Structure 1
Amino acid sequence: MNKTLQRPRHWLGAALLGLAPLALLAQTPQGPPPVLGTGGPLALSLPQAIRYAVQTKSSLLSTRLAEQTAAAKVGEIKAQGLPQLSVAANLADNFKLQKSLTDFGAFAGAPLSGTTLTQRDIAAAQSGQAVTLSPAYGEKAPSAPTPIAFGLQYAGNTSASFSQQLFDGSYLIGLKAAKVYQELSKKQTQQAEIDVVEQVSKAYYSTLVARSRLALLARNVQRLDTVLYQTNQTFKAGFAEKLDVDRLRVQRNNLVVEQQKAQRLTELSIALLKFQMGLPQAQLVTLTDSLNAAVVDAGALRQRLGAASFSTGGGADGLGALPTPPTGTDAGAPVAPAPGINNGQPVQADAAFNYNNRIEFSTLQTQQALAGLDLRNRTAGAYPRLSLTAAYGFTGSANAVKDLFAFRGPDSRTAPTPLSPNGLINQNWFGFGNVGLALTMPVFDGFRRHYQVQQARIAQQTIERGLETLRQSIDLQDAQSRTTLVNALDVLDNQKDNLTLAADVARVTRIKFNAGVGSNIEVITAETSLREAQTNYYAAIYDVLVAKVDRDKATGELYQQAK
């Protein structure tokens, strides 16, 4: 009786706490998720529960946002190679102009010191002729540098600049890396989807097992009530002892307590399913699948799987030939492995296993590709960069803000005066423009790029070691999952036979007791054995479902089924 009470707590409680995997994954058809807000319970099959979780669970939505971020990152990198055009404007109030010292004595030789008037010039002037006096230069007069402020108080400029990258080795590699990075984000989303599918499947089948277990306990209580009633009537007739009735009452009380515990665990398993799906806890759900539909054909599955064997790859009978040590050697000395023997290390058992079916391996390969591109990018940092540049704009200045915004061009003139009948040029805005090529060639960066290349090369080698480790881990998981599933199938067959035998024993014992040729102790013992067999049978179903999920994960078929 203790075993009967403790076993459900072990396998069902562990399932609800996430300490053990659950569930056989069914294929998920395409279609919209179930619609909430109908007012009644939400009917859910396993495919519908998976579909709802994949499309609406918040953790997956966050992962898909990261995937969108990666796509935007690709667009950002591509934009670096497109023409770059910018417009800028600036307005400044030079309330205190900066001054510079200027030596005017250095301009055009020595300063003027007067004119030279000759007698010939005087005679020509007296005769009415025009005389042009020539300046005379003397010795340079000593003078100090003079502070001069260039510009006016208010200044402004506006310009448009253009640049086009012509060649950049890092950019070309960056384009390839961006695509690989986007592919990596998609695989990470796929990995998250696989995790969600597995979690929902486990929670769904945990609920099915708990529900079936609860229904079985209800039938057991009902059957025990019948036995208790018959025994009590026999006692009243004087053909049974009160001790027999009391024993059955104790048995019933224990069974009712177990039923209550199973009811609470069933409710908890439903809450876990809602959590894994991302459903509100207040939403009522009804599971439409049955546990019987999930039970696999043990014989057919075992025939297809064979057994894990590190030397032959197993077989339909589950037995493979094992290598025998060479003869004529010392029993205590180590023996070198013969050709074709891997010294006990797990291998792929002669199966054409595709590592890329495992999303972990494919993701690590993508990371390896990224590491290789990063190495190439660091190396490409030594290449020159060539760009086409151009700029055009206007700059202006004035002593007043209103004059600055007058925007006077080259045709602007001041009002006519007697000294300047046509007026003076009054332009305050001037245009400028340039076009050219910019070439940047790194020469020496203090060995910074050398160490960056060294780090990138080490990172690539680290990923290569990780790939080899992952291969070995996948090989081991492949062998382990096959062995675990075959063992679980064997246990299921055995527990099924035990359940049939225990049911027959309980049935015959009740018939004998009702006929008056059997004891009450035999009935209680048979009922206890039957409940234990029932518990073991459901535990075996649970173990098979767990092993099937583990097998699908090991072979990489879980995602294909989820699709």
Structure 2
Amino acid sequence: MKYQLKKIYPLFFLLLFVTRINAQESLGGYRLEKCIDYALKGNNVIQQHNSEIGESEYKRKEQQSQLLPQVSINSQYDRYIEIPSTILPGEIIGQPGEKISVQAGTKNVLDLSARLEQVIYDPSLFQGIKIARSNVELQRLRKSLTEEEVIYNVSHVFYEVMSSEEELRVVDTISLKQEELFQIIRQKVSEGASRPIDLNRIQVNINNLKLRKKELINVIFQQKNYLKTLIGMPIEDLFEINYTSSELIEIADIFPSVTGYNYIGLDILEKQKDIIGIQIKQEKRKYLPVLSGLIAGGYQFQSDKFQITKDPWASSVVVGLRLRFPIFDGFAKRNKIKQLRFQQQNIDFQIREKQLELDANQRNAINQLQTSYESINEQKNNLLLAEDNYNKTNLLYQEGLIDITDVFNTESTLFNSKISYIKELINYKKSHIDLLKSQGRLRNNIKAVIK
């Protein structure tokens, strides 16, 4: 019997999940890096940004097209039911003081013309092109910020799934030991060496573990579906995560100090401020004259009978310049400029607020990383103590020196210690992600986290 108990209760390893992780590496599935790559290509919000970038590119081209010659061809046909009259002075026909009504023209008039107009100088248009170009850059920055957020969210949810799966494996291991213990205690009860109440208490433990397993399976199911949504994968597709031992248990005791940050959200605010600055220049340029050149020509046919012949066609060609000089618009441009200056001021406030927020986030992330590292070491020590107590308690129980209750208590402590240790490891990885995000370095340094 002593040999059987020793066989059933082997020494729990410090990291129960490592053997399973190493075995899992050959099973395929989605590693964190693969999930992130999938998300950067399939996330719906990122795809929307791609569409917005394409739209802004064509808006820029639309704005630039106004610098090219504008060519148009026009045609017009008029059929006069009654030819309009023109009033002429009577002096031209020897009737001074009289007004003579004379019908002039023909019943059919056909006009064909072509017109080419080229902007020579329009300072407002030039600023508009700069705004369109800056809007393309702004859309690209917004896409980069969304990618940063997607990487952050995917990483956090991935680690949540990892934590739940590791807890589930601990539950399975403890359940297996409980089932084996149940069989041994039942044999001891039949031999009169143990009490039936001990058997009942083990059964309660087994039932509680089964309930916890069902809860974890449901949680993992929901977490995976959420992760699928983040990366843009159809919900009905099969999906399993895969990770190596280094992704979970490797930690470093080197912590960065508070440094600067290169947060894309700040770049977006700066770009918005630049665009408003260009808009202000554009409104000021509207006070300046606009010069354009014109070339136009056409043919006109007039006849009382609509019978197109070689005659009577008349041609015309005109070449000229057009100068438009704005004088007064009711202070519309001035009021627009003041609005833009207030918008610029508001962005300055947002930039300062964001800088304070980023500084606080970075300091909090560094502190959390240090705290998590210290907690990992404490949880590791607790796990070693719980494991040692559990082994010693088993030996005492085998010798009949203690009650089964003590075995249950130490087993529960060992179970909780393993779960706490796993969760603290996950918290450390999350803290690392938080730190990189607060510094604006997550997009380019994600491999340092998932190595």
Same fold at TM > 0.5: yes
1:466 equivalent in alignment to 2:350: yes
Where does residue 182 of structure 1 map in the other structure? 136
Report what 2:110 is aligned to: 156
Give 1:204 shift: 2.1
Within the candidate set 345, 348, 364, 2:269 is matched to 364
1:386-535 to 2 correspondences below 5 Å: 386-401=291-306, 403=307, 406-408=308-310, 427-535=311-419
Deviations 1:484-514 (A, max 9, x none): 1111222222112212221222222222222
User: Per the alignment, do residues 297 and 282 of structure 1 end up closer, same or farther by CA in structure 2, a change over 3 Å counting?
Assistant: closer
- Does structure 1 conserve the Cα–Cα contact (< 8 Å) formed by 2:38 and 2:231? yes
Q: CA deviation at 1:562?
A: 5.1
Residues 1:78 and 2:64 aligned together: yes
Query: How do residues 323-334 of structure 1 correspond to structure 2 at under 5 angstroms?
Result: none
* TM superposition shift of 1:260: 1.3
Which structure 2 residues correspond to residues 41-440 of structure 1 after superposition, within 5 A?
A: 43-97=29-83, 99-107=84-92, 110-111=94-95, 140=96, 143=98, 145-146=100-101, 148-290=102-244, 292-295=245-248, 297-298=250-251, 300=252, 302-305=253-256, 349=258, 351=259, 353=260, 355=261, 357-401=262-306, 403=307, 406-408=308-310, 427-440=311-324
Secondary structure in structure 2 of the residue aligned to 1:443: coil
Structure ranking higher in helix proportion = 2
Q: How far apart, in 1, do the equivalents of 2:391 and 2:110 lie?
A: 104
1:190 is aligned with what amino acid? S
**AA of the residue aligned to 1:368:** K
CA contact (8 A) 1:170 1:377 kept: yes
- The 2-side partners of 1:560 and 1:230 are apart by 56
- Kindly indicate whether the alpha-carbon contact (under 8 Å) linking 1:194 and 1:559 is maintained by their aligned counterparts in 2: yes
The answer to whether the 8 A contact 1:173-1:376 is kept is yes
Q: Which has the larger Rg?
A: 1
Q: Distance in 2 between matches of 1:65 and 1:529?
A: 54
The sequence identity of aligned pairs, in percent, is 21
CA distance in 2, matches of 1:478, 1:366: 23
Contact 2:255-2:366 at 8 Å conserved across structures: no
Q: Which amino acid aligns with 1:76?
A: E
Task: Tell me the distance in 2 between the aligned counterparts of 1:394 and 1:536.
Answer: 91
Structure 1 residues 96, 188: closer, same or farther in 2, change over 3 A? farther
> For residue 44 of structure 2, what is the amino acid of its counterpart?
S
For 1:9, the equivalent position in structure 2 comes to none
In structure 2, distance between residues paired with 1:92 and 1:509? 110
Partner of residue 16, structure 2: none
SS at 1:450 equivalent: helix
CA distance in 1, matches of 2:88, 2:120: 46
Distance 1:396 1:61, change over 3 A: same
Specify whether residues 397 and 246 from structure 1 end up closer, same or farther in structure 2 by C-alpha distance, changes over 3 A only: same
- Rounded to whole Å, the distance in 2 between the matches of 1:165 and 1:407 is 38
CA contact (8 A) 2:249 2:425 kept: no
The amino acid of 1:103's aligned partner reads: L
Structure 1 letter corresponding to 2:111: N
Q: Offset at 1:539? A: 2.1
Write the distance in 2 (CA, Å) between the matches of 1:562 and 1:152. Answer: 81
Q: Distance in 2 between matches of 1:224 and 1:386?
A: 91
Q: Distance in 1 between matches of 2:183 and 2:159?
A: 36
Amino acid at match of 1:93: R
Q: Specify the SS of the correspondent of 2:116.
A: strand
1:247–1:92 distance in 2 versus 1, CA, 3 Å:
same
Write the letter of the residue equivalent to 1:71.
Answer: E
Change (3 A) 1:107 1:45: same
TM-score by length of 2: 0.88
Q: Quote the RMSD (CA, aligned, Å).
A: 2.0
Per-residue deviation, residues 94-132 of structure 1 (Å, max 9, x unmatched) = 3344x2342351315x25xxxxxxxxxxxxxxxxxxxxx
Deviation at 1:296, TM superposition (A): 5.7
TM-score (norm 1): 0.71
Q: Residues 104, 174 of structure 1: CA spacing in aligned structure 2 closer, same or farther, 3 A cutoff? A: closer
C-alpha deviation, 1:143, in angstroms: 4.8
Post-superposition offset of 1:144: 5.1
Q: Which amino acid aligns with 2:54?
A: Q
Q: Which runs of 5+ in 2 are unaligned?
A: 1-26
Structure 1 position 452, deviation (Å): 1.1
The Cα shift of 1:407 comes to: 4.3
The 8 Å contact of residues 42 and 283 in structure 1, kept in 2 or not, is answered as no
Alignment of 1:532-547 (within 5 A): 532-547=416-431
Contact between 1:203 and 1:276, CA under 8 Å: does it hold in 2?
no
